[in-house]
Amino acid sequence: MNTPVPSLHLPLSVVVIDDEPLARIRIRTLLSQAAVPNAVQSEFGESVTALLHLQELDRAGRSPDLVVLDIQMPGLDGMVLAARLRELQRPPAVVFVTAHAEHALRAFDLAAADYLTKPVRLERLNASLERVQRLRATLQPARDEPLDDGEVLVVQERGRVERIPLADILYFKAEQKAVLLRTADDSRTIDDSLTELEGRVGARFIRVHRNALVSRQAMKALERRADDPDGGEAWAVQVLPTLEWLAVSRRQVSAVREAMAQPL
């Protein structure tokens, strides 16, 4: 049975995970004051029990819309837990809340909806909730189903709304605070975030790096291009028909290689 796409008017269901009781109280208080309607389903002070609970909810088809997650915790840290949540059939959006700003890049490698540093301000939490709300509204009921060639992506560019066939899009790449949408004949900067786009375009695109989504049908070659500054291997994927090379993160090399081995 297909689950309907949630409405913008339904409150976001939220799970809070933080090992500090005062931090959980603070988040619950801010959530109660937020402009975006929400309801805290449950809260946890450690990650293992939280993961078991979320896995059970997922099996029952009742995954929350959002997990507000601390990073440094006993047992599984927040980064590991977020990676495990991505394995669920219907993974919730994740907003990291932490006192340590140095984890931000790794957080967005995990497709986090947002990254908030403590003490959290209400206006920043509101912005995160609005982002999750938009993402929830654009998710397909079944993201892994094949997409029709006639399907389009509606994008906004400096107040202009345009319908672009998904089959024409080669990749999306985050550049500073904007996202570049590339087709064979054109490129433009759009207002959508990469995380929102990943939820909207479904299985036709693959995350190759924290800053890029690439059309599976546009990938021509995957190569080790050079050594990266940290002494590891630097990989890149070549995109047709422009023959551009886009960086592939080390953690995504296997997934990209597997995707290229599959028939289109």
Tens-level pLDDT at each residue, the chain (264 residues): 333 444 445 789 999 999 999 999 999 999 999 999 999 999 999 999 999 999 998 888 888 999 999 988 888 888 889 888 888 888 899 999 988 766 555 655 566 788 888 899 999 999 999 988 887 776 544 344 444 445 788 776 665 677 888 889 999 999 877 889 999 989 988 877 787 788 778 778 999 998 999 999 999 999 987 655 555 568 999 999 999 999 999 888 988 988 888 776
Q: Given this model, what pLDDT does residue 79 score? A: 85
Domain ranges of the chain: 12-138, 152-261
Contact 95, 67 (CB under 8 A): yes
Q: Given this model, what pLDDT does residue 141 score? A: 40
Q: Given this model, what pLDDT does residue 144 score? A: 40
Cα distances (angstroms) measured from residue 70 to each of 10, 179, 247 = 25, 27, 29
| Length, in residues, of the chain | 264
Burial label for 53, CB within 10 Å (0-12, 13-18, 19+), is middle
How far apart, in whole angstroms, are the C-alpha atoms of residue 182 and residue 186? 6
Alpha helices in the chain (DSSP H): 21-33, 47-59, 78-85, 104-109, 122-138, 194-201, 253-261
CA atoms 240, 243, 248, 253: torsion sign: positive
Q: Given this model, what pLDDT does residue 157 score? A: 62
Cα distances (angstroms) measured from residue 175 to each of 52, 118, 172, 212 = 37, 26, 10, 9
How far apart, in whole angstroms, are the C-alpha atoms of residue 126 and residue 35? 6
Q: Given this model, what pLDDT does residue 148 score? A: 46
Hunting for tokens 């050594």 — which residue is that?
227
How far apart, in whole angstroms, are the C-alpha atoms of residue 98 and residue 117? 5
Q: Given this model, what pLDDT does residue 109 score? A: 59
Task: Using alpha carbons, select from 109, 6, 21 the residue that is nearest to residue 65.
Answer: 6
How far apart, in whole angstroms, are the C-alpha atoms of residue 70 and residue 18? 5
CATH number of 152-261: 2.40.50.1020
pTM over the 0.75 mark: no
Fold of 12-138: Rossmann fold (3.40.50)
